[in-house]
Amino acid sequence: MHVPPVYRRWVTCPEPRPKASLRLFCFHFAGGDASVFRLWAKQLPASIEVCPIELPGRATRRNETPITRFPELLDKLASMMLPFARQMPFALFGHSFGGVTAFELARWMRRNKAPLPVHLFLSASPAMHLRKGPPPPLSHLSDKEFLKEVAARFGTPLEVLYSEDFRLGVLPALRTDALVGESYQYTPEPPLDVPISSFGAFEDKEVNKEEAESWRQQTTGRFQLRMFPGSHLFLSTERPRIYKALLEDLAPQFQ
């Protein structure tokens, strides 16, 4: 894939695959960055070109001003992705709030008559229509209280959160994403005509099985729920099983 310089800041492509027949856009969890999906580009089949999204204010874009309002982020992200979405069939994968972003991006594309994804993968993401509102805000808390709340909600060990590497490398992006999440508001719309696969984890404190399964109500197409071992951040520990599920659910695109 030829990537114009401006798009290297939003749509990354660790391993270009000119002969791929499907592009998989990947959206990281809060506090993460595109490197979360680095191994996916090497380990998924050559028929899939993996394109992790890199948002401003983190990793390779650390010196750029972050976007802290969800509506602004969605509009900017959609405009940057559209040239790639028009080139070939594509699917969206998002973990945690990255799943909410992927879902809202698909609805943005429908509202704006842009190409729709052939499949939507929502991992450790709560079906937002079930929730009466966002969780209690975090962004106003001190670093110590902020990290305690993150540990309670997502099961991340406090020794990891309190480490210097985390404080310097992840905490600023995590605080930015907390602001983004607090500015998000779900608005009812008709279900998407896009197949949805929802991935959950048995020990996830943040997203229970009912919330993972209720994404069924957001599609008129096929729906598949898969539950994995582990807690909220099962994305790394269950990677082989996730690959298998992705390929099974995308099989109709390669027939």
Which of 35, 47, 96, 198 is catalytic? The answer is 96
Pick the closest to residue 212 from 231, 199, 196 (CA basis).
199
- The reply to whether 96 belongs to the active site is yes
Catalytic amino acids? Answer: 96
